[in-house]
Structure 1
Amino acid sequence: MKLAEALALRADAARRVEQLRARITGSARFQEGETPAEDAAALLAEAGAVLDELESLIRRINRTNAATPLGDGTLTDALARRDVLRLRHSVVTAAASAAAGEGQRGYRQLRSELKMLSALPVAELRAEADDVARQLREVDTAVQRTNWEADLLD
């Protein structure tokens, strides 16, 4: 099985656990004289089995990520880089938007009102955000390619 397939199975299992959790909480109590919509104990047992499967998948995915070379490091290193690039892009674009006054009134109604000035170089921040976005795309593409090439470890 390829790593990408395991990642898809992990996402499916996580969704399944969330669906089961909702069904369990909906059937855990019922009014006297009524029957619950579903057997909460059976749903709980099913959730336990799905959680065991999810744990196994996560362990294998993590082992594979740590052992799979990518660039100068491992797939785990690339994932950390991608996460930080996403955060960096978010911070830089938020700073540029705030400095540009986006979402704020951009004009003075009266001459007596104070003029708002930018404390940051908007154009430079936008250029930096574009560069970070490019780096993020490159890392993400490499990660996705590796996910489809790497075999899942036991």
Structure 2
Amino acid sequence: MKLAEALAQRADAVRRVEQLRARVVGSARYQEGEVPAENAAEVLAQAGEVMDELELLIRRINRTNSTAVIDGHGTLTDVLARRDVLRLRHSVVTAAADAAAGRDQRGAARQLRSELKMFSALPVAALRAQADVLSKEIREVDVLIQRTNWEVDLLEE
């Protein structure tokens, strides 16, 4: 099985656990004289089985990520860390640009000449350009990750 397939299975298992959780919560209590929609204990046991499978799958994915080497970039885990930090960096730079441009101040335009002027403490255009570069880097890293996910075989337990 390829890593990408395992990632899809992991996402499906997470969705199944959430659905089972909702079913357990919906059936955990019922009124006297009524029959619950489902046996909450059985649904809870089913959720436990799916979570056990999910744990094994996550372990295999993590093991694969830590051993799959991408030429010139380190392991897949290294590349995933790089992507996470690029996303965080992009978020901070765009937030700074928005704040410097006054986008975070709702209705803060001057109404009277006697009101104080607001000035930007940061170069908005340069920050936007930096955000564009970061966006490009994120896209490139995402492509590298996706390609690797379809090339690498999932390690066995």
Q: Same fold (TM over 0.5)?
A: yes
Identical-residue share of aligned pairs (%): 74
CA RMSD of aligned residues (A): 1.1
Partner of 1:17: 17
Report deviation, 1:44.
1.0
How big is each residue's C-alpha offset from its partner over 1:15-53, in whole Å with a ceiling of 9 and x where there is no partner? Answer: 100110110011111112111000111101111110111
Q: Return the alpha-carbon distance in structure 2 between the equivalents of residues 74 and 4 of structure 1.
A: 16
Report deviation, 1:106.
6.1
- Are positions 1:144 and 2:153 aligned together? no
Structure-2 change in CA distance of 1:107 and 1:25 (3 Å): closer
Q: Return the alpha-carbon distance in structure 2 between the equivalents of residues 50 and 103 of structure 1.
A: 43
Q: Return the alpha-carbon distance in structure 1 between the equivalents of residues 121 and 73 of structure 2.
A: 37
| 2:26 alignment partner AA | G
Structure 1 residues without counterparts, runs of 5 or longer: none
Q: Is the contact made by 2:21 and 2:47 (CA closer than 8 Å) also made in structure 1?
A: yes
Report deviation, 1:94.
0.6
| TM-score (structure 1 length as normaliser) | 0.96
Q: Is the contact made by 2:73 and 2:79 (CA closer than 8 Å) also made in structure 1?
A: no
Residues paired across the two proteins, number: 154
Q: Return the alpha-carbon distance in structure 1 between the equivalents of residues 117 and 92 of structure 2.
A: 25
Partner of 2:93: 92
Report deviation, 1:103.
4.4
Partner of 1:74: 75
Partner of 1:109: 111
Q: Return the alpha-carbon distance in structure 2 between the equivalents of residues 107 and 28 of structure 1.
A: 53
Q: Return the alpha-carbon distance in structure 1 between the equivalents of residues 146 and 118 of structure 2.
A: 44
TM alignment of 1:13-52, pairs within 5 A: 13-52=13-52
How big is each residue's C-alpha offset from its partner over 1:69-121, in whole Å with a ceiling of 9 and x where there is no partner? Answer: 12331000000010110010000001001101124346422110111000001
Q: Return the alpha-carbon distance in structure 1 between the equivalents of residues 139 and 59 of structure 2.
A: 27
Q: Return the alpha-carbon distance in structure 1 between the equivalents of residues 13 and 109 of structure 2.
A: 52
Structure 2 residues without counterparts, runs of 5 or longer: none
